[in-house]
A and B are shown apart, each in its own frame.
Chain A
Amino acid sequence: MKVALVGQPNSGKSTLFNAVAGYRSLTSNFAGTTVEYTHGQARVGGAVLELIDLPGLYSLTPTSPVEEVSRDYLLGGDWDVIVNVLDASQLARSLELTLELLDLESPLVVCLNMMDEAARKGMTIDTHALEIALGVPVVEAIGARGRGIIETFRTAQEVASTGTRPHAFVYAPEAESMVEGLAEKIAAAAQGQPAAIPKESGVGTEESEARSQQSGARSQESEARSQKSGHSPALDGAALSCAVGHCSSACCGHPPAREGQQGPRVTAAVAVLPVLPPAVSPPTSSPALQFQSQITNRKSQIAEFPPPRFRALQLVQSDPSHMPTGIGHRTFDPGLRTSDLGHSFVEWAQAEIAVRTGQPADAAISGARHAACLTLFERVARVARPRADWREQVDRLAMHPIWGYAVLMGVFLGFFRLIFDVGKLGEDRILNLFDALVAALAQHMNAQGALFAAAKGAVLGTAGAVAIVLPYLLPFLVGLAILEDIGYLSRVGYLMDAAMHRLGLHGTATLPILVGYGCSVPAVMATRILTTRRDRFIAAFLAVLVPCSARMTVIFALVGFYLGANYALGIYILNIMVVAVAGHVLARLWPEISPGMLMEVPAYRVPAPRVVALKTWWRLREFVLVAFPLLVVGSVVLSLVDFYGWQHGINAALSPLTALLGLPRSVGLTLIFGVLRKELSLLMLMQALGTTHVLGAMTAAQILIFTLFVTFYLPCMATLASMMRELGWRLTLAASGALLALAIVVSLAARGVLKFL
C-alpha cells in the first residue's frame, strides 16, 4: 500500500516520514529543500506501508521545479492514499492545499501536525468539527515528539483499504457551471465520443442537469469502480461529469466519506444554481479529429485519474495569456489546450467566468477557495492571545535594519573561520594517508608501467575528492544545515533581498550563492528552489563564480602562503566585486519582469541532530554521485597523459593563453587539470615547475595572476555536469564561455595594474 505524504513546506512531513521510515528522508526549515521525493517502508499495525515523502508544495499549481516534482507525482496517481500534513499553527493557509486535494476525490487523511506550536500561538482547534466539515479523518500530531504519528498512518491504512473518498470542493456558483461543462467535455472526450459543442447556450443546461441528476447514483458506483480497478467502465460522458461535477454538492447521495461523519459541506455558496445565459457565444468550430484521437490515445489515463472536474478546474485557472514563463504551464489535456476546439473552449469558459464574477477566472476560483478556508478556520479554531515568546525578541535583533546585518556578518565570519580551522586539521592527514597508499602500490606493481600510472591516478583522484569532501565540505554542509533548520537562512534572504536586487536576483537566491562557497555542485542544484529559468541561470552563474572550498585551498596555499593573508582576503573581496558586476551585467542582458520575493518566514526551531545529519548526507550524496566518478576517471586520464608525455603538446596548444597572461609555458597543463578539479591545479603546478617552492620558479605577480585566473575560469567538470542537468547544454556552454572570457579580462587587468605598480 502506497502512502503519499503531501504538505506545504515546513509542515513537518519529513519528520513524520523519518519517525517511521528510518534514515532515508530529509526535513528542513527552509522552503524547497526536499528536491526529490523519498521512498521508505514502514511497518504499521502489522502491515507494511510504502511511504513517499514528497517535496513541500503550496498548491497544486506549482511555481518552481521543486513543486512540480510533487504535483506530477500526485497527478500520476501511483499511490493509494494521501496523508496531507498541515502545520496546525498555520491552519488557515494550510487548508487551501487541503481543499485542492479534496478535488482529487481520492482517499485522504489530514494530519494536524505541530499542535504544540499552535497552542503556543494561543490557538485551540476543534478537530472533530474540522473532520466533519472536510469529510475526511483528521488526526492530531506533534511529529517532533512522536505523538500522533502511528495513529496517522493507521488511519491512512484504514481509509485506503476501505477506499473511502471525499467529495470535491464546490467553488463560486458563477464558476461552477462552467467548470462542470468543461469537466463534461473532458469526460466525454475520455470516452472517445465526439465532444458536443453547444451552439447557443453554454454547458450545464437544465436538460443536461436533469439527466445527470438521474444518472447520479449509477455514476458514483461506476466512478468508484473505475478509480479502483484501473479500467474505465462504459459510461456516458454526462454521467461521469455528474459524478465529478455534481456530487460535491449536497444534493446527491454520495456515500459519506466516513461512516457517521458526513457533515455539512464546505461550500463557497450554494452548489448548483440556475445557469445564467452565457455572455459570450462559444466557438462553433468543427470538432477537430486530431483533438479526438489525442484524447482517446490517452484514454486509460484520462478516464480515471485525475478526475475530469479537477482537470477542468486546472484549465480554468491556467494562465489566460499563455505567456511562456518556463514552468508550471504544462496542462494535463493537450487536446483541450491545443486544438482549435479545446483551446478556445477553455478561453471561452474563462471569459465567461470573468464576465459573471467581475474578476479573472483564476482569481474567482482561488478567491472562493480562500474565503472557504477562512470560514472553515473561523468555525474550527479559536485564537487567544499568544504566549510571550523569546523568538520575537530574537527577530527584533536578527531582522533589525542595522543590527541584523551585524549579526549576519558575525554569523558568517564565525562560520567560515570554523570550517577553515576544522578543514586544515583533516586535510593533511588524509592526503598523507593516500600518499602512503601510492607508495605501497609502487612496491607491488611495476612502477614504470602504464597500469601503475592509471592506478596512481585513480588513488590520487579519490584522495583529492576525499580531502575536499571530508575536511571542508562536510563541516560546511553540517553548519549550513543547522543554520537552515533553525530558520536563520530565511532571515538572511530577507536581509539580503535589497542587495541581491543589484545582482538581478531576489533574496531567495542567497542560499545557492552561499552554498557556492562550500561546493559549486550542491550550489547549482540548490538553484532549483528558484521560480524562473532566468533566475536559476543567473544564480547558478554567480554561485560557480564564488570560490568554492577547493579554490579556497588554492588561494590560501599560493597567495596566502607566498604573498600573505591580506592578498588572499583581497582576492575574496575582488571576487565579491566581480560577482556584483557580473550579476548586474547578466540582469541587463537578460531582463525580465520578475515577480519579486515572496517567502515564508518560518518560526525558529531547535534543529534536530538527525535532520541535520540527513540533510548533510543528502547534499553530500549529490556531490558524491555526480563528482566522484568524474574525478577518478579524469585523474586516471591525466595520469596517462603525464605517463605518455603528452603534456608538451598541451602546453604548446595553450601557449597563446599562458603568454597572454605572462605565465610560464609549463603551467598550461595545470589549467587543464584545474578543470578536472580546482585544487589539482595547485598540485600540478608544483609538479610542472618541478619544485614545491613556487616563489622560486614564478614571480609574486605571476602567482597572483595564476591564482586569479584559476579562481575565475571554467568551473570543474563535476560542476559542469550538474549545470548541464539543471540548465541544459546551451546555457552551460554560454556560461562556460562567459566565465573564460571573464577570467582572462580579470587576469589581464591584474597584470596591467601590477605592471603599473
Chain B
Amino acid sequence: MNLYEAGDHAELRILLITGGWEVRRSFNQMGIQPGDRVRVLRRAPFGGPLEIDNKGTRVAVGKQLAEKIRVEVLP
C-alpha cells in the first residue's frame, strides 16, 4: 500500500521510499525516512497533497510523491 492510498488518521510505518536519488534526497531533507511512524492528518481535494505528521513535524506531500512511499498500517 502506498501513502496516498492509506486512510486518514491511521498510524502508519514507512517501509520503503521508491524512486530515484532526487526523491530520496527530498524526503531526507524533510526528515522522512523508512522506518518512520507517520499519520495522515488531512488531504486536499482534486488529487491534491496530503498533510502528514511525523514526530510533530507537519509536511505537505504531493500525490505523486506520496505514491512513492510504501507504508503499512500499524495496529
Contact = CB atoms under 8 A, between A and B. Distances in A.
Q: Give the one of B27, B34, B43, B44 with max A CB within 10 A.
A: B44
Given A494-B44, A507-B62, A601-B59, A370 B24 contact: no
Interface string A347-389: 0000000000000101100110011010001000001000000
Contacts of A401: 42-45
Interface in B35-75: 35, 42-49, 51, 54-65
B60 A366 contact: no
Nearest to A87: B57
Among the interface residues A371, A595, A599, which one has the most CB atoms of the partner chain B within 10 A? A595
A63 B35 contact: no
Given A59-B29, A362-B21, A367 B34 contact: yes
A506 interface: yes
Contacts of A600: 30, 57-60
B49 A597 contact: yes
Chain B's interface: helix, strand, loop or mixed, by majority?
mixed
Nearest to A501: B47
B33 A366 contact: yes
Contacts of A598: 26-27, 29-30, 59-62, 65
A498 B59 contact: no
B21 A495 contact: no
A96 B65 CA distance: 21
Nearest to B49: A497
A320 interface: yes
Interface string A97-136: 0000000000000000000000001010000000000000
B23 to A, nearest CB: 6
A497 B62 contact: yes
Interface residues of B, number: 37
A490 B57 contact: no
B44 A495 contact: yes
B28 A59 contact: yes
A93 B55 CA distance: 9
A497 B24 contact: no
A506 B26 CA distance: 14
A313 to B, nearest CB: 14
B31 interface: yes
Interface centre among B25, B27, B33, B60 (most CB of A within 10 A): B60
State the 10 A-B residue pairs at the shortest beta-carbon distance, nearest first: A93-B31, A596-B62, A597-B62, A498-B48, A58-B29, A596-B64, A596-B65, A498-B46, A601-B58, A370-B33
25 contacts: A90-B57, A92-B31, A92-B55, A96-B28, A320-B21, A325-B22, A360-B24, A362-B24, A363-B24, A366-B28, A367-B34, A399-B42, A495-B44, A497-B44, A497-B48, A498-B44, A498-B48, A499-B46, A594-B64, A595-B26, A597-B60, A597-B65, A598-B30, A599-B59, A602-B58
Interface of A: 58-59, 61, 63, 89-90, 92-93, 96, 121, 123, 319-321, 323, 325, 360, 362-363, 366-367, 370-371, 373, 377, 383, 399, 401-402, 404, 490, 493-495, 497-499, 501, 506-507, 594-603
Given A61-B25, A92-B55, A370-B35, 4 more contacts: A366-B33, A494-B44, A494-B51, A598-B62
